[in-house]
């Protein structure tokens, strides 16, 4: 691993200068409400006009062919500048990498430009009432019909689905096949005839999710990702990105750890050694994750099941960072503000992208080679 960052300093300087000039002086409204969703969509458009919305993508789709190292640097600068959260993250960080790996040239040309500009915001529609972390148990169906598929069933806890434009996820297309087979991965417009969406409020009441009901929703063949019946394989490439660096880059935690340090300097009691150690521990872990990020992008092979280690690390670090900040602020922290907003969001981290309990099983079985849970 070569940690010489001199080659990317010009890019860092360019990004830093643009962000200094364009990041809104006041935080945008929460992207979990309609007004905030629209404001964040406009921010995506502004990023796109500067060719900064998807820096690692090829230029033909709105990117600038940035290297993985340049992408990490962009992320560091983005979060350090206090820039708004990315309402397009489901599309940019989850669906796009899946399309690059499994999509057709037509799908790439049709889907990616509008994703990069924020014109189309994507919702991840995976979980079902009986299938969350156990994705292979899903029961929503895709049935073959002339020119496409008919979707029926229900999805729930669908991120961004309350206000998003399109969704993506796996459906059971062969009920006679084994659990991990017979799934097909599809994209669908959320305003299609036959779809009903009902917003789900999180703990603070904001509709960060929605449940979706499908009643003979027609999806043409061109919106199938990968081969029909290969949905599990396609879904696993999505989860690799969701659990790894793509969704939760080190820059996000570096910026939060630096803000926590400032908070300690403003509100901390030097005699409170326990609190001081919590702040130091979070700051050190954020930097350790940064080094892990450099190590990850220096690899030539797929990270594979090791992405589960990343997922547990960043999700637990996120909760610890925000809990420590709220404890520093005391009762005032519960009145609102970015730390409370971030804390509420962080609580979902150990659950989404596959619960941390499931990830520990993945690490035990696929990384460490230990016996399967429940076996003798």
Alpha-helical regions (H) of the chain: 9-22, 34-49, 68-80, 89, 96-102, 105-117, 231-243, 250-267, 273-297, 307-329, 338-346, 356-362
State the average pLDDT for the chain: 91
Tokens 């983005």 label which residue? Answer: 78
Q: How confident is the model at residue 243 (pLDDT cuts 50, 70, 90)?
A: low
Cα distance between residue 5 and residue 109, in whole Å: 33
Burial class of residue 111, CB neighbours in 10 A (0-12, 13-18, 19+): buried
Is-contact 313 320, C-beta < 8 A? no
Q: Which two tokens stand for residue 152?
A: 């029926």
**Under DSSP, is residue 124 helix (H, G, I), strand (E, B) or coil?**
strand
Per-residue pLDDT averaged across 147-161, rounded? 94
Residues identified as active-site: 242
Is-contact 364 143, C-beta < 8 A? no
User: 94-98, 169-173, 309-313: lowest mean pLDDT where?
Assistant: 309-313
Q: How confident is the model at residue 277 (pLDDT cuts 50, 70, 90)?
A: very high
Share of the chain above pLDDT 70, in %: 95
Q: What is the pLDDT of residues 249-268, one digit of tens each?
A: 899 999 999 999 999 999 99
Q: What pLDDT does residue 358 have? A: 85
Checking DSSP bridges between strand 122-124 and strand 166-172, what pairing results, if any?
A: parallel
Eight-state DSSP code of residue 54: S
Q: What pLDDT does residue 175 have? A: 86
Q: What is the pLDDT of residues 196-215, one digit of tens each?
A: 999 998 877 888 889 999 99
Asked if residue 352 has pLDDT above 90, the reply is no
**Helix pair angle (231-243, 307-329), 10° resolution:** 40
Which residues lie closer than 8 Å to 77 by C-beta, 6 or more apart? 12, 15, 16, 19, 251
Q: What pLDDT does residue 376 have? A: 56
Asked if residue 79 has pLDDT above 90, the reply is yes
Q: Phi-psi region for residue 104, left (φ > 0), alpha (ψ -120 to 50) or beta?
A: beta
Per-residue pLDDT averaged across 124-129, rounded? 90
């Amino acid at each position: 691993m070569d940690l010489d960052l001199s080659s990317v300093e010009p890019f860092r300087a360019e990004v830093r200068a643009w962000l200094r000039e364009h990041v809104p002086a006041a935080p945008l409204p929460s992207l979990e409400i309609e007004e905030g969703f629209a404001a964040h969509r406009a921010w995506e458009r502004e990023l796109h006009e500067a060719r900064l919305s998807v820096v690692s993508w090829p230029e033909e789709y709105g990117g600038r062919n940035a290297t993985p190292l340049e992408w990490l640097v962009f992320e560091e600068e983005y979060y350090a500048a206090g820039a708004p959260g990315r309402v397009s993250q489901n599309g940019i960080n989850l669906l796009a990498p899946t399309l690059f790996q499994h999509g057709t040239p037509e799908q790439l040309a049709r889907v990616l430009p509008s994703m990069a500009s924020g014109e189309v915001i994507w919702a991840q529609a995976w979980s079902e009432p009986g299938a969350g972390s156990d994705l292979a148990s899903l029961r929503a169906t895709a049935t073959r019909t002339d020119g496409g598929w008919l979707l029926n069933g229900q999805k729930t806890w669908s991120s961004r689905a309350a206000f998003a434009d399109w969704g993506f996820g796996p459906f059971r297309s062969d009920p006679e096949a084994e659990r991990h087979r017979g799934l097909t991965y599809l994209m669908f417009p959320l305003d299609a005839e036959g779809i009903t969406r009902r917003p789900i409020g999180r703990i603070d009441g904001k509709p960060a999710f929605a449940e979706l009901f499908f009643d003979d929703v027609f999806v043409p063949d061109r919106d199938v990702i990968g081969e029909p019946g290969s949905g599990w394989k396609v879904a696993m490439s999505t989860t690799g990105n969701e659990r790894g660096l793509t969704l939760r880059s080190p820059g996000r935690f570096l910026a939060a750890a630096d803000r926590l340090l400032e908070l300690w300097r403003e509100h901390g009691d030097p005699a409170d050694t326990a609190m001081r150690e919590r702040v130091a521990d979070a700051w050190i872990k954020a930097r350790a994750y940064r080094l892990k990020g450099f190590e990850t992008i220096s690899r030539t092979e797929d990270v594979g099941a090791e992405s589960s280690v990343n997922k547990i690390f960043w999700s637990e670090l996120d909760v610890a960072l925000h809990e420590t900040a709220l404890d520093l602020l005391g009762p005032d922290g519960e009145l609102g503000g970015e730390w409370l907003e971030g804390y509420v969001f962080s609580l979902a981290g150990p659950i989404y992208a596959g619960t941390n309990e499931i990830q520990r099983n993945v690490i035990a079985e696929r990384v460490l080679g230990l016996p399967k849970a429940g076996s003798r």
